[in-house]
A and B are shown apart, each in its own frame.
Chain A
Amino acid sequence: MTLQEQYIRKHKRSHRMIFLARLCIIVVFLLVWEISADTGLIDPFFFSSPSRVCKSFVTLYQENSLLTHIGITLLETILSFLLVFGISMLAATLLWYSDKISAVLEPYLVVLNSLPKSALAPLFIVWLGTGIKTIIVAGISVAVFGAIISLYTGFALTEPEKCKLITTLGGNRKQIFNKVVLPSNILLILSTMKVNIGLSLVGVIIGEFLAARRGLGYLIIYGSQTFKMSMVITSIVILCVIAMLLYLALQFAEHWYKKRVL
């Protein structure tokens, strides 16, 4: 066997090991959970169990129109994500255009960004009522300030010499933005959006806790208040899957961009 083949074998083996270890953790966790619930080590009324979660999933699907709840949460998340994207791009562009505006607004952005946004949710309910509007606004509020700050920082850090190049070719500030700032920050924009889709989901769930009649956040609150722990855990598991899928979708976009352009 050549050294190269040995290396490849070693590499593949370590990959297999990692995969097996990951699988082990989840299988052991589910087994221990199931067995301790069945043997009475933990009270299945409070802690549920994998088999009960599966049953609850089927019941929710058949009786409580689970798909509608998932759809609503997804819709709200995607809407607030798109709005966060639009608002933060516009705001960051504006801040980049004018040094004065960014200098004036900086402390406000910092304060709004560090404020725990869940504290604002009750205000949104009073102002906007209980419904999809409140929930989308909650979703936006969690992500938007951080997004503006990181996009603006990235824009402002664009290589000054590259901007100077556009000036020497006779370009104005708008052309500097279109030809240099925007294209050189595509990867930053994509990675910011990867963070934001998760944050939007957080905001939407907070909103649904407080102000919804439908959606996974509502199922979680409803389940906990009526002590249907299987319902709560099922919803959380579905949320995990949704979060992962949304993240993967953006990662896919990033890979596609890198492959096409770089």
Chain B
Amino acid sequence: METSYLSLDHLSYAYHGMHGETCALTDISFSVKKGEFIAIVGPSGCGKSTLLSLIAGLLTPESGKILFPMLAKDESPKIGYMLQHDHLFEWRSIYKNVILGLEINHLCTPEKLAKVDSYLKDYGLWDFRDKSPSELSGGMKQRAALIRTLALEPELLLLDEPFSALDYQTRLQVSADICRIIRAEKKTALLITHDLSEAISISDRVIVLSSRPASVKIQIPIRLTLPDDSMLAARNAPEFKTYFNLLWEELHDDTAGTIYQKT
């Protein structure tokens, strides 16, 4: 059997407050192969972001384990985290923003900086490196944010609804761009989204979470017959509709079963 890169083993987490505890995740188990692109969908507020924070090590699980079977015992995983908004700093130029991670980790070596330069060139930001973030379009800012994440050369990328702040037109374009980049760099990625068509067109596998406390409801591998690799083509693939309906059913009888009952 192929070993997985990341594996979650009966993971649970709850938030504690003076008025009681809120169970966010319960008994989550799944694994991710190296180079795989996973989309996670679930009703809003079900604890998807909590899941990413746990994997990133920003939170500690209450029970269960997060394992990286391919890494040696003392080796810590290289994880890149992309947040909902680009959070580029207005007081830094695009270039200074992009090397922020390197600066923080004292890794501004010539090789790493050369890598950043080549990212900037490849992804159309080289001419804008001295501009401030407000001078860039939403899509360019999101690409700059991705390069900032990639500069640290992560093996696993966690994407927390990175396109949800963009308008629909930009969103299609940017999500296609970003995913092409991530595939080109051969990264393993976990994407949280509430957009089902986005999930189907981007990922290799969709994991559906139930409403809070979240547990894994179903995992659906996506196989689309495609003329080429573009995301827009994916939306026209013959299987697209089937997957969409399948996911819709899964989400809908969990969240709104009583409201949308078939008449």
Q: Is the CB of B87 within 8 A of A165?
A: yes
**Complex: A165 Cα to B101 Cα, angstroms:** 9
Min distance, Cβ A188 to any Cβ of chain B, angstroms: 13
For chain A, residues 110 to 168, give those with C-beta under 8 angstroms from any C-beta of chain B.
159, 161-162, 164-168
Q: Is the CB of A161 within 8 A of B91?
A: no
Q: Is the CB of B83 within 8 A of A168?
A: yes
Q: Is the CB of B91 within 8 A of A168?
A: no
Q: A183-B89, A183-B91 are in contact. Are A166 and B104 (CB under 8 A)?
A: yes
B71-98 interface bits toward A, Cβ cutoff 8 Å, 1 = contact, 0 = none: 0000000001101110101110000000
Among B90, B103, B105, which residue has its beta carbon within 8 angstroms of that of A262? Answer: B90
Among B83, B90, B103, B152, which residue has its beta carbon within 8 angstroms of that of A165? Answer: B83
Q: Is the CB of B87 within 8 A of A169?
A: no
Q: Is the CB of B91 within 8 A of A169?
A: no
**Complex: A164 Cα to B17 Cα, angstroms:** 21
For residue B54, CB closer than 8 A to chain A, the reply is: no
Q: Is the CB of A161 within 8 A of B87?
A: yes
Determine the residue in chain A with the shortest Cβ distance to B91. Answer: A183
Complex interface: chain B residues within 8 A of A168 (CB): 56, 58, 80-81, 83
Q: Is the CB of A180 within 8 A of B101?
A: no
Min distance, Cβ B142 to any Cβ of chain A, angstroms: 14
For residue A36, CB closer than 8 A to chain B, the reply is: no
Give the number of chain B interface residues (Cβ < 8 Å).
Answer: 18
Complex interface: chain A residues within 8 A of B105 (CB): 169-170
Min distance, Cβ A259 to any Cβ of chain B, angstroms: 13
For residue A192, CB closer than 8 A to chain B, the reply is: no
Q: Is the CB of B83 within 8 A of A170?
A: no
Q: Is the CB of A169 within 8 A of B152?
A: yes
Chain A: interface secondary structure? helix
Give the number of chain A interface residues (Cβ < 8 Å).
Answer: 19
Q: Is the CB of A179 within 8 A of B83?
A: no
For residue A191, CB closer than 8 A to chain B, the reply is: no
**Complex: A164 Cα to B90 Cα, angstroms:** 17
Indicate the member of B81, B91, B103, B152 with the most A CB atoms within 10 Å: B91
For residue A171, CB closer than 8 A to chain B, the reply is: yes
**Complex: A131 Cα to B161 Cα, angstroms:** 63
For residue A68, CB closer than 8 A to chain B, the reply is: no
Q: Is the CB of A179 within 8 A of B100?
A: yes
Q: A162-B87, A165-B87, A180-B89 are in contact. Are A170 and B104 (CB under 8 A)?
A: yes
Complex interface: chain B residues within 8 A of A162 (CB): 87, 89
**Complex: A10 Cα to B14 Cα, angstroms:** 63
**Complex: A167 Cα to B87 Cα, angstroms:** 13
**Complex: A180 Cα to B103 Cα, angstroms:** 13
Determine the residue in chain A with the shortest Cβ distance to B56. Answer: A168
9 contacts between A and B (CB under 8 A): A162-B87, A165-B83, A166-B104, A168-B80, A168-B83, A170-B105, A171-B104, A183-B89, A261-B91
List chain B positions with a Cβ less than 8 A from chain A.
56, 58, 80-81, 83-85, 87, 89-91, 100-101, 103-105, 148, 152
Q: A165-B83, A184-B91 are in contact. List 20 more A-B contacts (CB 8 A).
A: A161-B83, A161-B84, A161-B85, A161-B87, A162-B87, A162-B89, A164-B58, A165-B87, A166-B100, A168-B58, A168-B80, A169-B104, A169-B152, A171-B104, A179-B89, A179-B103, A183-B89, A184-B89, A186-B91, A262-B91
